[in-house]
Structure 1
Amino acid sequence: MLGIQLIGALGMKSAVNHVVDKTIRSTVKEPKVGSILYTGLLADTMEHSGVYIGNNRIVELDNKGHIKVVTPQEFINGGTGINIYVSAQGKYPVGSGLIAERAIQYEQDVIIKDYHLLFDNCHMFTAACIIGDFDNSYSYLWMLKDLVKESLSADNWLVWQDPQKCCDKKEIEATYPNYTSQDLACVLAQLQAVREQSNRQWEDIKAHCRLVHEHTANGPASWFCTTESRLENYVRRSQELEQIEYINQRKHDDLLREEKSLEQKVEEITAYVSLREG
């Protein structure tokens, strides 16, 4: 009896909090594609999270391990959640096309996976959509929020003003970046050029390593006799080789970062083109 009364009291408190949030807290008309969402469960003693993919669709992992697309109402069904909270920066929702693309891909390819309330739950699925790895430890909402802050610079969570209202698809698509297949081809060409440059730089690094090895092998330890001048030349050459090695490695690291950035851009453009066509 006491347990029922406690749940009832928590439920009443949760309802009041949600009404206050919707009245006082800033609201958003529509999340961004790739926004992270959450809602309260069990009188807000737990939460449920997912990824917004546009057109009033959310990808979630349910408590049976099914990865599926649901409506906002289905997202909050089964719990006492009233509001859906949206990742935001200040007063504006934030999201990522890449996150949405991963969520869609998981829903299409994985479909069902193991589920555990604490060790393999919805928050870990949502985190996987952000980082691309199911094997993660973001099992609590506060952990997920930290990840969202790091990944999307989200410093706020806005209440979705009217999730029951299905927005017009054209209105939603108007918020997407206007990427085209030509944009994709352009970025792919840039990526290919950077990869080729990176490969050439790597060959330069390997050639330089051979020079360093040869220089070391012909060092003072191999000399029958030495002079101060010869030793100074050796040291100076060693310093030059070390500096060249440092510069080559820095160039290669910069190219790898640029390559990674372009790969992410390709995934982002592909995601938005896919969402538009879907």
Structure 2
Amino acid sequence: MGFVAPTVSEYLVDNYVRDTVRPVRGSVVYCKLGGIAEHSGIYVGDGKIVHLDGDGSIEVVSRRTFIRRLGGVNPALSIYVSCVDTSAAGTEAVAKRALAMIGRQRKYNVILDNCHQFTSGCLTGNFDNSDNFWWMVKDTAEKKYKVDNWRVWKAPKSV
């Protein structure tokens, strides 16, 4: 029961107490995967995210597809957005790097070549980086773009 209570309270605070944001092109986005890991990508506009899928494909997807990891059984309800203070943070250069990678294939490995390495590559231009864990991507975003917090993506009314 200790696992569920913090997750529910965190969800309530993040979605109903803290301000939510809409991402800007080049924002880093992530969702939680069953409370044990995270999945990350880059927001490129029009409600779309570029990410590295589990089969090694770099593709552009909707919010819904992005969050429905683990064969659609991911219990995540929120996508988090990179922010500086209370505003979404991202750059056009990051969005362009992500878009340029669509259709490419990588030798996906859950530990050694994963979505986090792709996301960090979009931030830095170095897709052969060693940022294989979410905390490493967060650190890169903080250093390069002064990201200081992560807020829930405010869903459009139609979703």
| 2:88 corresponds to 1:93 | yes
Cα drift, residue 103 of structure 1? 0.4
Within a 5 Å distance, the mapping from 1:111-122 to structure 2 comes to: 111-122=104-115
Alignment correspondent of 2:75? 80
SS at match of 2:102: helix
| 2:27 corresponds to 1:35 | yes
More helix by share: 1
Alignment correspondent of 1:260? none
SS at match of 2:29: strand
| 2:123 corresponds to 1:134 | no
Q: Please, which runs of 5 or more residues in structure 2 have no aligned partner?
A: none
When residues 39 and 158 of structure 1 are mapped into structure 2, their CA distance, relative to the original with a 3 A threshold, is same
Give the letter aligned to residue 39 of structure 1.
C
Alignment correspondent of 1:63? 54
Give the letter aligned to residue 64 of structure 1.
D
Structure 1 stretch 9-18 or stretch 86-95: which is displaced more? 9-18
When residues 106 and 164 of structure 1 are mapped into structure 2, their CA distance, relative to the original with a 3 A threshold, is farther
Q: Please, which runs of 5 or more residues in structure 1 have no aligned partner?
A: 1-5, 167-278
Q: What CA deviation, in whole Å up to 9, does each residue of 1:68-108 have, x standing for no partner?
A: 11111111103221111100000011101011001000014
Higher relative contact order (CA 8 A, sep 6+): 2
Cα drift, residue 15 of structure 1? 4.1
The answer to whether the Cα contact below 8 Å between 1:11 and 1:80 also exists between their aligned partners in 2 is: no
Alignment correspondent of 1:156? 149
The answer to whether the Cα contact below 8 Å between 1:73 and 1:164 also exists between their aligned partners in 2 is: no
Cα drift, residue 19 of structure 1? 2.7
The answer to whether the Cα contact below 8 Å between 1:72 and 1:163 also exists between their aligned partners in 2 is: no
Distance in 1, Cα, partners of 2:125 & 2:46: 23
Identity among equivalent pairs (%): 37
Q: What CA deviation, in whole Å up to 9, does each residue of 1:12-61 have, x standing for no partner?
A: 65344223310122211x2010000011002x210000000000000011
Which structure has the larger Rg? 1
Residue correspondences, number = 155
Within a 5 Å distance, the mapping from 1:41-56 to structure 2 comes to: 41-42=33-34, 44-56=35-47
When residues 53 and 112 of structure 1 are mapped into structure 2, their CA distance, relative to the original with a 3 A threshold, is same
SS at match of 2:152: strand
Give the letter aligned to residue 62 of structure 1.
D
Distance in 2, Cα, partners of 1:153 & 1:132: 17
Q: What CA deviation, in whole Å up to 9, does each residue of 1:142-190 have, x standing for no partner?
A: 1101100111111111111215747xxxxxxxxxxxxxxxxxxxxxxxx
The answer to whether the Cα contact below 8 Å between 1:56 and 1:163 also exists between their aligned partners in 2 is: no
